[in-house]
Chains A and B, each alone.
Chain A
């Protein structure tokens, strides 16, 4: 499926969810859907997205947290599936945009194209709900699913086309977006 169309659907249906984006194309996809104060875009620290989401979910239990990341970024945080499953946040949803490649670095094949299913691993760890989606109609259904409360963390893999689309660049200053994000929650900069 088309990654930008899929992410746009998720962002249009976010209902105020706080969003963390993994480095590379997921950050561009979320930015392309519309820059918001309640987005935190990562440009580095590969493997940090889901765990930043966990820390945020624990600090803001009344808000829904969405992590939008890529297969390569989530593979680097493979152990995070265990940590998050043990923590059992009820308000953390992880969306893995899976093109089965390391898109930023020359489209080298990733593990997910060679038999590793991140959703099955999340399910084995104890995520409350997992799935693999292959078309945009299923994303519409996912938007409805995500609106409903969960009794634990959820992870969904969206199989997307392996294309490098024109980049939509979010701010690269992590202090600026931190202050903007915290201000959205009514928190002081320092």
Chain B
């Protein structure tokens, strides 16, 4: 809720996502908000292109995904990196803390490396207390300094997936 309020205060009017359990509350709040346009994606890189179009038209946007989706985005990220359009990605991590599913591990372990390799700045939020502050400063870096920022939200914060 604090994160939703922060993004609203920052003027975010478009959100795109491939759902992750860790983003459930945020997605629900955005979907219910009539001032914000929500786009559900078939694959995460769609959100990168949508965010570039949003900025061309003067809107601030945010892209939500799980770490496994970061790998889908790499070539598409050349667009905001080269065009210097603000990009704020909120990435919930898998495969790095208390992970029971080996299929999540390769991309989870590679997430920061591949984002930095294509030119996206990575910041991490480890606990609930620093999440809002981290996203707040990342939003300033993105929207005011034309940077491409991914906030990686620790699996430690999200907790082990329950079955």
Contact = CB atoms under 8 A, between A and B. Distances in A.
Interface of A is mostly: helix
Contact of A47 (B52, B76, B82, B83): B76
A52 B53 contact: yes
A120 interface: no
Of A51, A54, A175, A181, most B-chain CB atoms within 10 Å: A51
A39 to B, nearest CB: 11
Interface string A41-66: 01011111101111111111001000
A77 interface: yes
B31 interface: no
Given A44-B78, A45-B75, A86 B46 contact: no
B26 interface: no
A47 B85 contact: no
Interface residues of B, number: 34
Contacts, number: 115
Nearest to B48: A48
B5 to A, nearest CB: 22
A182 B79 contact: no
B105 interface: no
A59 B41 contact: no
A80 interface: yes
Contacts of A53: 53
A28 B119 CA distance: 28
A55 B42 contact: no
Given A83-B39, A178-B83, A40 B56 contact: yes
In the A-B complex, the 3 residue pairs with the closest CB atoms: A55-B53, A59-B57, A79-B42
5 contacts: A54-B39, A55-B59, A55-B61, A181-B56, A187-B58
Interface of B: 13-14, 37, 39-43, 45-46, 48-59, 61, 75-76, 78-79, 82-85, 144-146
